[in-house]
Copies of this chain bind each other. A is one copy, B any other.
Amino acid sequence: MSQPNDLKNVGLKATLPRLRILNLFETSEVRHLAAEDVYRILLAEGVDVGLATVYRVLTQFEAAGLLVRHHFESGKAIFELNQGRHHDHLVCLQCGMVEEFYDAEIERRQEQIAKERGFRIQEHSLYLYADCLKTDCPHKT
């Protein structure tokens, strides 16, 4: 369960909306959530929160390094808990399920390519859009 100190450590007051949002990312089995998802889930949990607050808090959490923001094809921003380990994403185009992966060789080549061309990488995102081929494709977003 997220503690008030988790927030104070990054310089944010421990308010109810912030605690609930952080807690949601820490406990939900679905790791990738859009602002609208967070808003809907909190309302369902009986938390009287505004959508604008959700957006503000998500942005603050991203700035504080608690969350990572992704831009998949959907057009809406997707957030996930920042657990330190960089990774890439496989996104099922049929059911929206997101699976994570990490490949050291791909990371190495990226560094190499950037260096060759005189760039300094700030961040990078590899999205594989695919069909997951599960018999039922059950992971509805």
User: Which of chain B's residues have a CB closer than 8 A to the CB of A133?
Assistant: 118-120
Closest partner residue, chain B, to A94 (CB atom): B122
A114 & B134 in contact (Cβ 8 Å cutoff): no
Q: How many copies does the complex hold?
A: 2
Task: State which of B72, B99, B119, B129 has its C-beta within 8 Å of the C-beta of A130.
Answer: B119
Question: A116 to chain B: closest CB distance in Å?
Answer: 9
Per the CB 8 Å criterion, the residue count for chain A at the interface is 34
Question: A136 to chain B: closest CB distance in Å?
Answer: 13
Cα distance A92–B114 when bound, in Å?
Answer: 11
Question: A139 to chain B: closest CB distance in Å?
Answer: 12
* CB-CB contacts below 8 Å: A93-141 with B: 93, 99, 101, 103, 105-106, 109-110, 113-114, 117-134
Closest partner residue, chain B, to A111 (CB atom): B128
B105 & A105 in contact (Cβ 8 Å cutoff): yes
B101 & A106 in contact (Cβ 8 Å cutoff): no
Cα distance A126–B89 when bound, in Å?
Answer: 10
Q: List 17 A-B contacts (CB under 8 A).
A: A71-B75, A90-B119, A105-B109, A106-B110, A113-B128, A118-B133, A118-B134, A119-B128, A119-B132, A120-B131, A121-B128, A122-B130, A123-B129, A124-B126, A124-B127, A124-B128, A125-B129
